[in-house]
C-alpha cells in the first residue's frame, strides 16, 4: 500500500467508533474507583500524604507476609461459617444485608453486645454472633421466605434475634427489618428466592454482581451526589463486601470464582479511615479534625462524610499500586488490604491505644 492509498481497515474502525459501535470491552465496571478519584481531586478537607502512603504500603505488605494474610484467613474466625455450601451463601448474604451501624456513644461496658458461646461480642462480630445464635435457636434468620412472612418475621422476633447482654439495643432495628423485607421480595421476584441464583446472574464477574445488587436492591444502592457532579458518587460498601466475603469464604473457587475480583475496592466505612489517619496517610482540615475528635454526628452524603469515604478508597488503591510496583508477583488486592487494616484497627481499639476516634454517621450504608 502506498502513502497515497487510504487504510481501509483503519477507516472502518474510525467509522465504527464515531457511530458508537466499537466496543473495546464488554466487561463491567462498578464506577466506585472513578468516583473516589473525583472526590479526592476535589476534596478540601481530606488530603493524602504520599510519603506516609508509601511507608504504609511497605509496612502493610511486610506484616501481611509475616501473618500469611490470604483469603483463607476469612474462615479461620470462630464465628464465620466453615461449610462451603448454599447455606453458607445464604448466611453471608444475610450478614452483609445487615452489616451496618454498630458503633455506640456509650462506654465499652454499656454498648450493644451479644453473648454467644460464652463470649461477649461487639461491633460487626455482634451481628455474626446474633445470626449464629438465632440459627441455633431454630429461627430461620437466613431464609428469604422467612423475611417475607410478616406474621413470623416481625420486629419483636428481630428484637429477640438481636437481644443484647446490655441495656443498649442494636441501632436501626426497624431499618434492618426493612432491608430483610425488601431483599426477600427481590429474591422472590427475580432469583427464585436464592442468593445462589443471584450470584449466577453475574456470570463470574465481581463487578457485574456489585452492579446487580445496586440495581435491584435499593438497600444496596449506596451512592450520593457530590459538588454538583451529574453522576452520583458510588461507594457500594455492602454490595462490594458481599462479593468479597463470598470470594474469601470460598477462596476464589465455586461460588467465589470471580475473574475480575481485583475491581473491588476497599469498603468505605468508619474504621479504615480511622487507621489511615492514625498511620498518617489521611490528613484532615482543622474543622474536620475537631469535629471527629468531639464525636460530632456527620450526615449521610454530607461533604465531610463523602470526602472521608472516597479519599479512603483512593488511598487504599494507591497503597495497593505501591505494593504491586515493588512486588509485582504479590497476590494482593484492595479486599485483603481492607481486611488487614480493619483487623489491625480493632486490635488497636481492644488494646485501648486509639489516638483519635472514628467519625460517626448513623446510616444503613456502613
Distance (Å, rounded) from C-alpha 183 to C-alpha 101?
A: 18
User: H/E element holding 46?
Assistant: strand 46-48
Out of 26, 269, 297, 353, the active site residue is 269
**Nearest partner of 320 among 344, 345, 338, judged by Cα:** 338
* 96 noted as active-site residue: no
94: three-class secondary structure by DSSP:
helix
Q: Which runs of consecutive H residues, i.e. helices, occur in 137-192?
A: 144-148, 155-161, 173-190
Distance (Å, rounded) from C-alpha 139 to C-alpha 162?
A: 12
Phi, psi of 300, deg, nearest 5: -65, 130
Place of cell 469535629: 291
DSSP result, 181-203: HHHHHHHHHHSTT-HHHHHHTTT
Residue positions annotated with a catalytic role: 269
Amino acid at each position: 500500500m502506498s502513502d497515497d492509498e487510504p487504510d481501509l481497515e483503519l477507516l472502518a474502525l474510525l467509522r465504527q467508533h464515531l457511530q458508537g459501535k466499537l466496543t473495546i470491552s464488554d466487561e463491567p465496571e462498578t464506577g466506585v474507583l472513578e468516583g473516589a478519584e473525583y472526590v479526592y481531586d476535589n476534596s478540601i478537607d481530606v488530603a493524602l500524604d504520599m510519603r506516609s502512603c508509601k511507608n504504609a504500603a511497605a509496612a502493610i505488605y511486610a506484616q501481611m507476609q509475616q501473618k500469611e494474610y490470604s483469603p483463607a484467613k476469612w474462615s479461620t474466625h470462630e464465628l464465620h461459617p466453615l461449610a462451603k455450601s448454599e447455606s453458607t451463601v445464604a448466611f453471608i448474604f444475610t450478614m452483609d444485608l445487615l452489616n451496618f451501624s454498630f458503633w455506640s456513644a456509650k462506654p465499652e461496658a454499656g454498648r450493644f453486645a451479644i453473648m454467644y458461646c460464652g463470649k461477649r461480642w461487639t461491633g460487626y462480630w455482634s451481628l455474626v454472633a446474633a445470626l449464629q445464635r438465632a440459627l441455633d435457636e431454630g429461627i430461620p434468620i437466613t431464609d428469604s421466605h422467612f423475611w417475607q412472612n410478616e406474621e413470623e418475621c416481625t420486629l419483636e422476633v428481630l428484637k429477640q434475634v438481636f437481644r443484647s447482654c446490655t441495656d443498649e439495643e442494636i441501632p436501626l432495628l426497624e431499618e434492618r427489618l426493612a432491608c430483610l423485607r425488601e431483599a426477600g421480595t427481590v429474591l422472590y421476584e427475580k432469583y427464585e428466592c436464592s442468593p445462589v441464583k443471584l450470584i449466577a446472574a453475574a456470570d463470574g464477574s465481581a463487578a457485574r454482581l456489585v452492579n446487580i445488587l445496586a440495581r435491584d436492591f435499593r438497600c444496596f444502592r449506596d451512592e450520593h451526589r457530590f459538588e454538583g457532579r451529574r453522576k452520583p458518587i458510588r461507594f457500594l460498601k455492602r454490595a462490594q463486601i458481599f462479593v468479597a466475603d463470598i470470594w474469601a469464604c470460598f477462596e476464589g473457587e465455586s461460588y467465589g470464582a470471580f475473574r475480575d475480583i481485583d475491581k473491588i475496592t476497599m469498603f468505605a466505612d468508619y474504621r479504615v479511615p480511622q487507621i489511615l489517619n492514625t498511620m498518617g496517610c489521611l490528613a484532615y482540615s482543622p474543622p474536620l479534625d475537631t469535629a471527629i475528635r468531639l464525636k460530632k454526628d456527620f450526615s449521610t452524603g454530607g461533604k465531610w462524610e463523602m470526602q472521608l469515604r472516597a479519599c479512603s478508597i483512593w488511598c487504599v488503591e494507591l497503597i495497593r499500586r505501591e505494593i504491586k510496583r515493588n512486588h509485582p508477583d504479590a497476590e494482593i488486592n484492595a479486599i485483603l488490604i481492607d481486611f488487614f487494616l480493619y483487623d489491625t484497627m480493632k486490635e488497636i481499639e481492644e488494646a485501648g491505644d486509639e489516638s483519635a476516634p472514628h467519625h460517626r454517621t448513623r446510616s444503613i450504608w456502613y
